[in-house]
Amino acid sequence: MAPLRDEILAAVTDVIDSTQYILGPKVERFEKNIAAYCGCGYGIGVASGTDALLAALMGLGIGPGDAVLTTPYSFFATMGCILRLGAKPVFADIDPVTYNIDPARMAEALAQDARTGKRIKAIIPVHLYGQCADMGAILALAKEYNLPVVEDAAQAIGAVYPLKNDGRTVWQRAGSMGAAGCFSFFPSKNLGGIGDGGLITCNDPALAERIRIIRVHGGAPKYHHGVVGGNFRIDPIQTVVLEIKLSRLPEWHRARRRNAANYRRLFAQTGLQESGAVSLPEAVYEAEGAAVGEECDYHIYNQFVIRAKDRDGLLHHLQRNEVGAEIYYPIPLHRQECLAGLGYEEVSFPEAELAALETLALPIFPELTEAMQGFVVEKIAEFYSR
C-alpha cells in the first residue's frame, strides 16, 4: 500500500471530485479489466465476495427446496449464501493434500442425490488458499448431472488450472471455468481493496444481465421489479484503488511464490518434515506446467497452510513470539452451530475434520522478508525441540 499511496490518493480524489459515488463508468472499466484478466467475457462488481456468491446463486435461480453441493471446509460465506436462499448445503469431503473438494466424494453425493430426489441444483467448489479445485473432474460431473458450477474463487484470483479439452491442455484462470466465478476484494486477499468489495465473472451474457439486474434490487428498468434482488453494488472508490493494485498483482503473486519457495528451503534445513512434525502445502499443478514451460500462477498462496502436530500448542508458541499465524478454519462447516437440529450431527467428513484440527497458516504476504521467514521457521523448530 505505501508505495502506491500517492497514486491511490489521486484516484480517490478524482472519484470524490466526480460526484459519481455509486457504479458508473469507473466501475464498468474495472469490471472489464478484471474479466479480461480472468479470461472471462463479463464481470459484475458487487459489494463483497459474499454478495458475489449470493447474487450468482440468485441469478441461477437457487431457492427454497433446492440443495447445493459444496465443500465442508471453507469460509462461512460459501455455506451461508446457500442457507440464506432457503436452500440446503450438501457436502462432499475434501482432498487431504489440497484441502479442496474431492471429486470422488462429489460423485458419491451426486449419485445418492439422484437416487433420493434430485434436489442438488448447483455445485460450489472453493479454490481454497489460492489453488484451484480439480475443475476437470468437477466439470465432468457437472455435465453428467446437468448442473451449473459456481466457482468460489475468493482466495484464488489469477490461479491457473490445466483444463483438458479434446486432448489439449488449456491453462485457465480461476473463475473462468464454471457458469460463474466469485471473487472477494477483502483487504487480506491477493487483490485487496480499502474495504469490502467483490465481483462475479461469467461467460453467458444472459446470466451476466440477470446478475446485473439482481445487483440493483431486481429493477429493470429502474423501479420495475420483475425479480427480487438486493443492493449488492460496489463503489467506484473501491474499484479505482483495485484497478491500480491489479497492475501490481502479477508482481505480488511472484513475491508470494518466492516466499513459499523460501519456506520450503528453510523447512528442509530443519528435518521437521521427515520427523512428521509438519507438512507443507503442495502446488499440485506445478509439475505439469513446468514440464511444458506454461504459466506459473499454479498456486497464488493467499495462505501458506501447513499441517502441524499439536497445532494449538504451536499456534500459542508462535503468538507468544508475535508471529501472525492463523487457523483457517477451526470448525468445519457441517459442525457450525447454526446447523444444529438440521441432521448434520449424523454426518462426518473426516478429512475436513482433521484439517480443522491440524492446519495453520503462516505469514506469506509479499513484503515478508527472508529474515522474517527465517525467524518463523526458527520458532517452529524451537517448539518441536522442547
Ligand X SMILES: Cc1ncc(COP(=O)(O)O)c(C=O)c1O
Nearer to ligand X, 186 or 267 (CB): 186
* Span of 130-138, 152-160, 293-301, 374-382 interacting with ligand X by CB under 6 A: 152-160
Name residue, grid cell 467428513. Answer: 349
Nearer to ligand X, 132 or 154 (CB): 154
Rounded Cα distance, 198 and 205, in Å: 19
Nearer to ligand X, 75 or 301 (CB): 75
Instruction: Return the ∠ at Cα 207 (arms to 223 and 130), rounded to 5°.
Output: 120
Q: State the sign of the Cα–Cα–Cα–Cα dihedral 142, 38, 15, 5.
A: positive
What grid cell was written down for 32? 472489464
Nearer to ligand X, 106 or 157 (CB): 157
* Span of 35-43, 148-156, 214-222, 248-256 interacting with ligand X by CB under 6 A: 148-156
As measured in angstroms, the least distance from the Cβ of 295 to ligand X is 22
Name residue, grid cell 487431504. Answer: 96
Q: Answer yes or no whether residue 75 interacts with ligand X by CB under 6 A.
A: yes
* Span of 45-53, 103-111, 129-137, 337-345 interacting with ligand X by CB under 6 A: 45-53
* Span of 56-64, 72-80, 289-297, 349-357 interacting with ligand X by CB under 6 A: 72-80
Q: Answer yes or no whether residue 186 interacts with ligand X by CB under 6 A.
A: yes
The b/e string for 216-250 (b: 16+ C-beta within 10 A; e otherwise) is bbbebeeeeeeeebbebebbbbbbbbbbebbeebe
Which amino acid, one-letter code, is at 381?
A
Q: Answer yes or no whether residue 98 interacts with ligand X by CB under 6 A.
A: no
C-beta of residue 142 within 8 angstroms of C-beta of residue 163: no
Judged by CB under 6 A, the residue of 49, 125, 130, 289 near ligand X is 49
Rounded Cα distance, 202 and 207, in Å: 8
Beta-carbon count within 10 A of 145 CB: 18
Q: Answer yes or no whether residue 238 interacts with ligand X by CB under 6 A.
A: no
Nearer to ligand X, 49 or 148 (CB): 49
* Span of 136-144, 149-157, 211-219, 317-325 interacting with ligand X by CB under 6 A: 149-157
As measured in angstroms, the least distance from the Cβ of 245 to ligand X is 15
Q: Answer yes or no whether residue 151 interacts with ligand X by CB under 6 A.
A: no
Q: Answer yes or no whether residue 48 interacts with ligand X by CB under 6 A.
A: yes
Judged by CB under 6 A, the residue of 125, 158, 192, 198 near ligand X is 198
- 105-134 positions binding ligand X, by CB under 6 A: 126
What grid cell was written down for 314? 504451536
C-beta of residue 152 within 8 angstroms of C-beta of residue 125: yes
As measured in angstroms, the least distance from the Cβ of 236 to ligand X is 18
As measured in angstroms, the least distance from the Cβ of 55 to ligand X is 12
As measured in angstroms, the least distance from the Cβ of 107 to ligand X is 23
Q: Answer yes or no whether residue 71 interacts with ligand X by CB under 6 A.
A: no
Helix 103-115 vs helix 135-145: angle between axes, to the nearest 10 degrees? 10
Name residue, grid cell 437457487. Answer: 62
Beta-carbon count within 10 A of 372 CB: 14
What grid cell was written down for 114? 439422484
As measured in angstroms, the least distance from the Cβ of 383 to ligand X is 27
Long-range contacts of 108-114 (CB under 8 A, 24+ apart): 109/69, 110/69, 110/141, 110/144, 110/145, 113/67, 113/69, 114/145
Q: Which residues pair with 69 in a beta bridge?
A: 90, 123
Judged by CB under 6 A, the residue of 62, 90, 109, 154 near ligand X is 154
Q: Answer yes or no whether residue 184 interacts with ligand X by CB under 6 A.
A: yes
Question: Which residues here bind ligand X, judged by CB under 6 A?
Answer: 48-50, 74-75, 77-78, 126, 152, 154-155, 184, 186, 196, 198
